[in-house]
Amino acid sequence: MFYVDKRLQFPVRVETPNPLFARALQQAIGGVEGEIRVAMQYFFQACGARGDPKFRDLLMNTAAEELGHIEMLATAVALNLEGAPLSMQEEASADPVAGAILGGINLKNLLSAGMSAMPVDSDGVPFDMSHIYASGNIAADMGANVAAESTGRVLAVRLSNMTNDPGMKEMLSYLIARDTMHQNQWLAALEELGGNEEVFPIPNSFPQTDENQDFNYTFLGFQNDGSEPVQGRWSEGPSIDGNDAFSSRPMEPMGDVPNLGRAAEGSGAQAEQL
Amino acid sequence: MFYVDKRLQFPVRVETPNPLFARALQQAIGGVEGEIRVAMQYFFQACGARGDPKFRDLLMNTAAEELGHIEMLATAVALNLEGAPLSMQEEASADPVAGAILGGINLKNLLSAGMSAMPVDSDGVPFDMSHIYASGNIAADMGANVAAESTGRVLAVRLSNMTNDPGMKEMLSYLIARDTMHQNQWLAALEELGGNEEVFPIPNSFPQTDENQDFNYTFLGFQNDGSEPVQGRWSEGPSIDGNDAFSSRPMEPMGDVPNLGRAAEGSGAQAEQL
Amino acid sequence: MFYVDKRLQFPVRVETPNPLFARALQQAIGGVEGEIRVAMQYFFQACGARGDPKFRDLLMNTAAEELGHIEMLATAVALNLEGAPLSMQEEASADPVAGAILGGINLKNLLSAGMSAMPVDSDGVPFDMSHIYASGNIAADMGANVAAESTGRVLAVRLSNMTNDPGMKEMLSYLIARDTMHQNQWLAALEELGGNEEVFPIPNSFPQTDENQDFNYTFLGFQNDGSEPVQGRWSEGPSIDGNDAFSSRPMEPMGDVPNLGRAAEGSGAQAEQL
Amino acid sequence: MFYVDKRLQFPVRVETPNPLFARALQQAIGGVEGEIRVAMQYFFQACGARGDPKFRDLLMNTAAEELGHIEMLATAVALNLEGAPLSMQEEASADPVAGAILGGINLKNLLSAGMSAMPVDSDGVPFDMSHIYASGNIAADMGANVAAESTGRVLAVRLSNMTNDPGMKEMLSYLIARDTMHQNQWLAALEELGGNEEVFPIPNSFPQTDENQDFNYTFLGFQNDGSEPVQGRWSEGPSIDGNDAFSSRPMEPMGDVPNLGRAAEGSGAQAEQL
Amino acid sequence: MFYVDKRLQFPVRVETPNPLFARALQQAIGGVEGEIRVAMQYFFQACGARGDPKFRDLLMNTAAEELGHIEMLATAVALNLEGAPLSMQEEASADPVAGAILGGINLKNLLSAGMSAMPVDSDGVPFDMSHIYASGNIAADMGANVAAESTGRVLAVRLSNMTNDPGMKEMLSYLIARDTMHQNQWLAALEELGGNEEVFPIPNSFPQTDENQDFNYTFLGFQNDGSEPVQGRWSEGPSIDGNDAFSSRPMEPMGDVPNLGRAAEGSGAQAEQL
Amino acid sequence: MFYVDKRLQFPVRVETPNPLFARALQQAIGGVEGEIRVAMQYFFQACGARGDPKFRDLLMNTAAEELGHIEMLATAVALNLEGAPLSMQEEASADPVAGAILGGINLKNLLSAGMSAMPVDSDGVPFDMSHIYASGNIAADMGANVAAESTGRVLAVRLSNMTNDPGMKEMLSYLIARDTMHQNQWLAALEELGGNEEVFPIPNSFPQTDENQDFNYTFLGFQNDGSEPVQGRWSEGPSIDGNDAFSSRPMEPMGDVPNLGRAAEGSGAQAEQL
C-alpha cells in the first residue's frame, strides 16, 4: 500500500513561466516515454511478479519514486502555465505573440484543466495504458524497463536543451540523473539474472531444440536484388547469447502461394466469392 | 521501396482448424508484442535513421521480414477460423460447445472480417500506432527492439504451448527462431555501438557533468518505515555503464509543499478559489 | 435541430432472449460498420456541407433515421440480455452452459451498463469518432457513405444469418432493406453529381495537368521478379473516369537512397550519430 | 425515433472569423466535456432506463436538445474557419501572423474536413465513446450528468471569456444558460429520487449490513508520518447519507505481503521464476 | 511524494480460483469505473488544486488509498487466474468446460501478462487516461468524484453479487464500504463549499446576469408533436440552486437554416461546390 | 513476402525546409486518409481474399506500392524538420517567429522522434488500425478503397495547395497521380465484378426477397413538419442497382414506446427501479 508526504521529492521552481514549455513538459507526464508510463509499468510488473520476491520490492520502490516525479512535473506544468493568455484578440494580427502562445499550447490545459497539468502528451493525446508492459517474464520486463528509461532520458535531455530557466534546468538535471540510475538499475537486474548468456533468448525456459535450427542465428536479407545483406556484428562471430554463431544470407520464399479457397455460404461475401 | 513475392516466407498449414486458437493468434498480429508492431517500428526507425547508414539497411531489411510474418499469421488465422459456426442456437443450452466457441472468439473476426484476420489483438482491440518507438536515438531504438523481440518471443512460446496442431507448431517454431535471432541481432547492434560502457547512459551525447551528481548512481528506497531498500547488483559494485559505483539509501523529500496559490480571474474556477 | 417521438421507428421484439446475440448486435451499434458511425457521419457531413443545400437536407434526414436505428438496436440488446446470469458458479465445470454464456458476452454490458446496450462493438471496444469521414468534398463524402452502407449491410446480413429469432429476423429485414436503399441513395447522389465521368478523380477541382502525367493511369506491379502485374479491367481499356486509357507495367525505383545525414547537436541522438 | 427541423435551435453568427477560436470551440464538440458526450450519454441512458418511464422521456428529450447544440457549434466552427490561410509561406518569418494562425489551428480541420467541424477536441483528438456513462443505475446516471454539465459549463464559461465576438458571446450565453438548467435538472431528478438521504450510497439496493462496518464512514489518512489526516466536514458530524457519523484516522496495512509464488511451467516465464 | 509498505491495505485471499471472475475483476482495475481512474483522478486534481490547500491534502490522501486498491485487485486477479488452462484441446468438443474457460477469459491476461493483472477492463480494453477529470474547478471535481464513486460502488456490488468465494466477498465488502465513505466524503466536500445553493451553477464565478435569462431555468421539451414535456421536480418549484423557479415548455427553432455558402477555391472541394 | 530496394520509389527533395509543412505532411502518413491506412488496408484485404485469386494479387501489389509512399513521406517530413528550433526563448515575445514555429509543429516530432516522422496525424494523434476496412466481401472492400483513395487525393491536393516548394510540389504531383490511378483501379475492379447492377446491393449473396419490401427503395424523410423530403435522383427513377424504382415519403413511427420493465434483483440498480 501507499503513503504520501506533502512535500515534493525535489524542488520545483520556475523563474519565467513559459506556456510553450508547459506543453513540452506534458510529454514527460503523459507521453509514451513519460512518468505515468514508468510508474504504472513498474507497479503492474511488481503486482504480477512471480519467483524471487526481491524483484517485487525493487519494482514497487521505483514505482513510488516515479509517482513523485509525475507530481513534480505536474507542478512544473502548472507553474509554467501562469501567465498564459485566457482570451484571444479578435484579430490575431493585433498581437502575434499572444496568438502564437495561445495557438502553441495544448488548449486542453486551459479549457479542460484550468491551467493545470493533464495526463496527456505534448500534443494533447491522452496516455493509453496499453503501454504498460508487464509480461510475467521478469527478464522481458527488465528489458522493457531499460528501453523505457532510455527513451525517457532522451526526452528529458531534449527538454533540458529546450529551456534556459534555471529552475527547470535544475529539476531536469535531477530527473536525468535518476534516468541514468534507472537504466543502470534495470541492467543490473539483468546481470543479476545471469547476464546476456543466461538471460537470452527470452524466455530462457523454452527449449531451444524446439525452435527451427536453420533460422535462429542467421541474419536474413530481404533485398530485392538478392544481394548479401549489410554486414556487422549481427552477421558473424558468436551470438550474443553465446549459444551459436551468427551467419547471414539473402532470404527466399519457402512457402506456397496462400489460397483460402471460396467463401462460405452465409458469410456475407459476394456471390462471386462463393 | 517494397516488392512482393506471391509465396509465403514459410509454410503455413493447419491440420485441425481451431477458432479459439485463431483468436489467440490475433495477439501475434495486432497485440503490442505482435508483428505489426515490429514491422512498423523497424520501418519508422529506418526512415528516421541519422548517422551510419548501415543501421537504416539493417532495420529496413528486418521490417520487410516482419511484414512477411504478418502475412503468415493472417493466413493462419483465416485457416483456423474455417469451421467456426456462423449461426447461434436459439438456446445456448442446446449446444454448449458451439456456444463456447462462438462466445470464445473475437466476434469481429466473423462480423467485420468474414472469417479473416484483422489488425487487432486477441481481445479484439485494434493496434494503436503509438506503440511504434522510433526515438531518433539509435541506441534507444535498439534497446526498444530487444524489448519488443523479448515480449514477442514470450508470446510466441505461449502460443506454441497452447496448441498441438503440427502445422501451427512448425510455423511457431520458425517464428520463435526468428525472435531468437532478432534479440541477438539488436543486442549485436548495441555491441557494435560500443557495448554497455559506451552506449549507456542513453543518450551518451549529454554531458553527465550536467546531471545531478548526488542521485545518478544511487538506488533509492521509498519504504514507509525508512528501512534500507532491497539489496542486489543495483545497490553496490561498479555501475553497468562503468562510470561510477552503485550505492543505496532511503529517500526523503527535498522539496517544499507545492502551492499553486489562487486561481486566476476568468479561469472558470469556483469563486472560493479566486 | 432535432425532435423525438417516444415510439420506435420499427417494432423490436425478441422471442427468446440470447445474451450471445446481444453481444453480436453490439457490433451494429458501436462497430465501425455500425449505426453510430453512419448517424454521426451524415450529421457532420451535413453540418459542413458547402454548395447546393439539398445535400445538407439529404444528409440530415438520413442522420435522423440512423439515430432511430441505434435506438432500435439498443432496445434489442437490452431485451436479449434478459436472462443473462448475474452470478458465476464457483466451479465452471458445474455448469458449462452458464459459464459459456457468461464468458461469451461482453462483460461490460453487465458490469458497466447493468444489462443494457453500450456504444461499443461486439468485443467491447468503444466507438472512436475518428471514423466519422466528413471531408468537405461532397463526392468523397458520398463515396464514403456508399462504403459505410456496404459494410453495414454485410454486417446486418451476417447478424441475420446468425439468429433464428423471428422478432430479430424481422427487425434485421427492415435494417437490411434500409441499407439497400442507402447504398442506392448515395450512388444516386453521385449520379446527380455527374456520374463517374464527372465525379472522378476526386477532387475534380484540381487540374489534372498538374498531376504527374506518366503515372496517373498506369497500373504498377511491384513483384519481386519484375513480372507483368495481374491483368484486368484496371490494366487496359478506357479509364473509368473517361479521361485516359489504362496501361500497366512493373515498377522500378526512380529516387535515390535517402540519406538524412548526421543528427543535430542537442537533438538527443547518440554521439555516434552526430 | 428522431426528426429534424432545418433551422438551428438558436442563432449562430460570427462577426469576425477567428480560426484559433474555431480550434477552441472544437473542445465543446468533441472534448470529454462537450456536446457529443452529453447527447450520446443521455441517449444511451434513455435506451437502457428501467423502472419509472418518466426518466426515459426526460433523458431522450434532453438528448435531442444536445444534438441541436452540436449542430450549432459545428456551424460556429465552420464560420470561424472562414479566412484561415490555405497555404504556407516558404519562410514563416515572412509572415509570422499567418504562421501563428496556421500553426495554431487543428490542421485536421483544414486537411481532413475542408474548413469544417469534426468530432474532435481542441487538440484534434477524436471523441471516444467510452465516455458515455450509462450505468443501469438511474441515480448514478443522474450524478454523472450533473458532473458532465458542471465541466460543460466550466468549459463554456472559459470559451466565453476567450472571445469578444458578439455573435459568439450570444451563442455561448445561451449554451451557458442551458448548462445552468441542466445542472439543476439532474439535481432535481436526484431530489425526485429521494434526495441525498434516500439516494446514497449508490446503489441503494445493496444492504449496507453486507459492507465492512469498520470502514464505511471513516476518512482514512495515508500520510507517511502517521499524522491525523486533514479535518473537514468529511471527518466529523453525520454522514451526508444520514446513515452514520463520520470519523477519521490514519490507516495501517491489514493485509500480508502478497506472494504469488513460482510461475507455472509453460507460462513463458524465465527459468529462474519456475 | 509517495512511499510504499510491502503489505496490502486489506487481506486478499481466493479460496477457489475462478479465471472468469478474474476477467470480471479487471473491470475494477482498468474499467472507466475502476481504481486506476479514481487513483489518477484524485492525483491530478490534487496536483492542480488552487485555493484552500486542504483540498489538495484530501485528494492526495485518497489517491494513495486508491493505489492500494489497485494493488489488492491486481493480486486478486492473479490468484483467480491460477489454474487457467494454458493449452487448448485440438477439438473444443472434447472438453467444453476448458473451452468455455479459455474462451471466456481475456486472453491477454495469459498471452501478454502471463497470468497476471493488466490495466485493462473486463473485455481487455486498455484504460485511457482521458477519463481523468481534473477541471481546475474544485466543485466540478468533487461532483466528478461523487459520480466516479457511484459507478464504482455499482460495479463493486455487481462483482460481489457475481461470486460466492468467501475471500472475494470479504475483499469486496471492504471496497464497497470505502466507496460508501468516498461518496459521502466528496458530498461532504461539496457541503463544505457551501452546499447546493452556494455551489451551483458551477462555476459560481461567472455572473449569471451574463447568461441568457430566458432559458436558464426552463425545462425544454423536444417532442415531435409539440406536446408538453414530462413533468417532475425539474419543471416546477424553486430551482435546486435556489436562484429562480423551474418552468417548462416545448421548444421551437430560434435560428435560421444555416448556410455555409460556397467552398473556397483551393480547398479540395468538388468543382460543383465552388 | 516482401523485399526492399534501398532507393525511393520517387525522388524526394525539399528546397526550403518548413517545419509547419512537416506537420501537415504527417496527415498523409498517419491520418485516416493517409498511406499507412491504405497500405495496411490493401494488405489485410489481400490476406483475407477468398474467391478469384487475382484480387489478392491486385491488392498485395498496391499494398507494396503504398509502403513505398510512406517511406517517401517520412523522408519528406524529416527533411522539412531540418532547421526547426530545438530550444525556446525564455520569453516568446523576444522571437515570435520561432515561437510560432515551435508552437505550430507537433512537438512529438521533436521530443519523441528527434526530428523524424512518426505514425501520427497532423495533430499528433497516432494512427489506429481500426481504420483498416477488410470485410471479407470483395465488393465492399473495393468500395472502401475508392473511398480511401478519394479522401487521400483530397488530402494530397490540399497539401499541394499549401506549399510552394518545388520539390514538394513534384512529389505530391506524383502521389496525386497515383491516387487518380488508384481511384480508377478500384472502380475498374467493381466493373470487373459486374458494375453497379451486379454488384449492388452489397452483399449480393443475400436474397432480396428476405429484406423488407416496403422500405428497400424508398427515400424516407424525417422532417418535423411531415413535409415531403428533398427530391433528387434518389427519390424517383430506376434504382441504381436496377432492381426497382425509387420513391419517397415522410416517415412515421411503426413501433411502440419501448419499455424494458423493472430492473433485475442484484443488478446494481437503485431500489426504485426494481
Decide if F4 and B60 are in contact by the 8 Å CB cutoff: yes
Residue C55 contacts residue C62 (beta carbons within 8 Å):
no
Angle among Cα A49, A50, A53 to the nearest 5 degrees reads 80
Nearest to E90 by CA among B96, C97, B17: B17
Query: What local confidence, expressed as pLDDT, does residue C84 receive?
Result: 86
The domain locations on chain E are 19-197, 207-253
The stretches in chain F having pLDDT less than 50 are: 90-91
Sort strands C2-4 and B247-250 into parallel, antiparallel or unpaired.
unpaired
The rounded distance, in Å, linking the Cα atoms of F39 and F149 is 11
pLDDT above 70: residue E89: no
The rounded distance, in Å, linking the Cα atoms of F121 and D108 is 8
Give residue-wise pLDDT tens across range B88-115.
764 455 566 666 777 888 999 999 999 9
pLDDT above 60: residue D92: no
Nearest to E181 by CA among D229, D194, D207, D200: D200
List helix spans (H) across chain B.
Answer: 19-30, 35-47, 54-81, 96-104, 107-111, 138-162, 166-192, 195-199
Distance from CA of A269 to the nearest CA of C (A): 8
Query: What local confidence, expressed as pLDDT, does residue B92 receive?
Result: 52
Give residue-wise pLDDT tens across range B38-56.
999 999 999 999 999 999 9
Sort strands C247-250 and C218-221 into parallel, antiparallel or unpaired.
parallel
Size of interface A-C (CB pairs under 8 A): 15
pLDDT above 60: residue E269: yes
Query: Coil, strand or helix: which one is C15?
Result: coil
Q: Which residues of E touch D266 (CB under 8 A)?
A: 86-87
Task: Give chain E's end-to-end CA distance (angstroms, integer).
Answer: 59
Write down the residue that cell numbers 530557466 correspond to. Answer: A165
Query: What local confidence, expressed as pLDDT, does residue E264 receive?
Result: 93
The model's confidence at residue A90, banded by pLDDT at 50, 70 and 90, is: very low
The rounded distance, in Å, linking the Cα atoms of A8 and D18 is 41
Nearest to A182 by CA among A62, A68, A72: A62
C-alpha cell at D218: 471513516
Does any CB of chain B come closer than 8 Å to the CB of residue E60? no
Query: Coil, strand or helix: which one is D18?
Result: coil
Distance from CA of A272 to the nearest CA of F (A): 7
Residue F138 contacts residue A272 (beta carbons within 8 Å):
yes
Does any CB of chain A come closer than 8 Å to the CB of residue B123? no
pLDDT above 60: residue A63: yes
The rounded distance, in Å, linking the Cα atoms of C93 and C68 is 42
Distance from CA of C140 to the nearest CA of F (A): 5
List helix spans (H) across chain C.
Answer: 19-30, 35-47, 54-81, 96-104, 107-111, 138-162, 166-192, 195-199
Q: How far, in Å, are A247, D169, F116 from residue C160 at the CA level?
A: 55, 50, 48
Q: List for chain E the helix, strand, coil content (%; round to 5).
A: 50, 5, 45
Decide if A122 and F114 are in contact by the 8 Å CB cutoff: no
Query: What local confidence, expressed as pLDDT, does residue A105 receive?
Result: 87
Residue E273 contacts residue E263 (beta carbons within 8 Å):
yes
Query: What local confidence, expressed as pLDDT, does residue F90 receive?
Result: 47
Residue E32 contacts residue B252 (beta carbons within 8 Å):
no
Q: Report CA torsion sign: E123, E125, E126, E128.
A: negative
The model's confidence at residue D93, banded by pLDDT at 50, 70 and 90, is: low
Q: List for chain D the helix, strand, coil content (%; round to 5).
A: 50, 5, 45
Q: Which residues pair with E220 in a beta bridge?
A: E249
Minimum-distance CB partner of C154 among F65, F154, F202: F202
Q: Which CATH superfamily is domain D19-197 in?
A: Ferritin, core subunit, four-helix bundle (1.20.1260.10)
Sort strands E2-4 and A2-4 into parallel, antiparallel or unpaired.
antiparallel
The rounded distance, in Å, linking the Cα atoms of E53 and D99 is 41
DSSP string, chain A: -EEE-SS-SS----SS--HHHHHHHHHHHHSTTSHHHHHHHHHHHHHT--S-THHHHHHHHHHHHHHHHHHHHHHHHHHHHTT--SS--SSGGG-HHHHHHHHHS-HHHHHTTSSS--SB-TTSPBPBGGG----S-HHHHHHHHHHHHHHHHHHHHHHHHH---HHHHHHHHHHHHHHHHHHHHHHHHHHHTTHHHHHPSSSTTS-GGGS-TTSSSEEEE-BTT-PPPPPSTTTSSB-TTSSSB-EEEE----S------SPPTTSS--GGG-
Mean pLDDT, rounded, for C99-108? 83
Does any CB of chain C come closer than 8 Å to the CB of residue B139? yes
C-alpha cell at F168: 514538394
Decide if C158 and B91 are in contact by the 8 Å CB cutoff: no
Three-state secondary structure readout of B215-264: CCCEEEECECCCCCCCCCCCCCCECCCCCCECEEEECCCCCCCCCCCCCC
Size of interface D-F (CB pairs under 8 A): 154
- Which chains border B (3 or more CB–CB pairs < 8 Å)? A, C, D, E, F
- For residue E62, the surrounding DSSP H or E stretch is helix E54-81
Minimum-distance CB partner of B206 among A11, A157, A266: A157
Does any CB of chain E come closer than 8 Å to the CB of residue B225? yes
Give residue-wise pLDDT tens across range A194-204.
999 999 999 99
pLDDT above 70: residue C217: yes
The rounded distance, in Å, linking the Cα atoms of D230 and D164 is 42
- For residue D103, the surrounding DSSP H or E stretch is helix D96-104
Give residue-wise pLDDT tens across range E160-219.
999 999 999 999 999 999 999 999 999 999 999 999 999 999 999 999 999 999 999 999
Query: Coil, strand or helix: which one is C238?
Result: strand
Q: pLDDT averaged over chain A?
A: 95
Query: What local confidence, expressed as pLDDT, does residue A92 receive?
Result: 52
pLDDT above 60: residue E94: no
Q: Which residues of C touch F257 (CB under 8 A)?
A: 6-8
Residue D102 Cα to chain centre, angstroms: 29
E runs forming strands in F101-256 = 218-221, 247-250
Sort strands B218-221 and B247-250 into parallel, antiparallel or unpaired.
parallel
Minimum-distance CB partner of E268 among C53, C88, C137: C137
Query: In chain A, positions 77-106, which contact chain F (CB-CB < 8 Å)?
Result: 96-97, 100-101, 103-105
Q: A207 CB contacts (<8 Å, ≥6 apart)?
A: none
Helices and strands of chain D, counted as H and E runs:
8, 3
Query: What local confidence, expressed as pLDDT, does residue A154 receive?
Result: 98
Query: Coil, strand or helix: which one is D184?
Result: helix
The rounded distance, in Å, linking the Cα atoms of D131 and E86 is 35
Decide if D112 and F27 are in contact by the 8 Å CB cutoff: yes
The model's confidence at residue E86, banded by pLDDT at 50, 70 and 90, is: confident
**pTM given for the model:** 0.97
- For residue E155, the surrounding DSSP H or E stretch is helix E138-162
- For residue E178, the surrounding DSSP H or E stretch is helix E166-192
The rounded distance, in Å, linking the Cα atoms of A134 and A172 is 27
pLDDT above 50: residue C45: yes
Q: Which residues pair with B107 in a beta bridge?
A: none
Q: pLDDT averaged over chain F?
A: 95
Query: Coil, strand or helix: which one is D241?
Result: coil
pLDDT above 80: residue A97: no
Give residue-wise pLDDT tens across range D172-218.
999 999 999 999 999 999 999 999 999 999 999 999 999 999 999 99
Mean pLDDT, rounded, for A227-252? 97
Give residue-wise pLDDT tens across range C131-147.
999 999 999 999 999 99
Q: Tell me how crowded residue B227 is: count the other CB atoms within 10 A of its CB.
A: 10
Nearest CA in chain A to E31: A129
Decide if B58 and A86 are in contact by the 8 Å CB cutoff: no
The rounded distance, in Å, linking the Cα atoms of A201 and A217 is 11
Residue B202 contacts residue B139 (beta carbons within 8 Å):
yes
Write down the residue that cell numbers 488452462 correspond to. Answer: E85
Q: B209 CB contacts (<8 Å, ≥6 apart)?
A: none
The rounded distance, in Å, linking the Cα atoms of F80 and F165 is 10
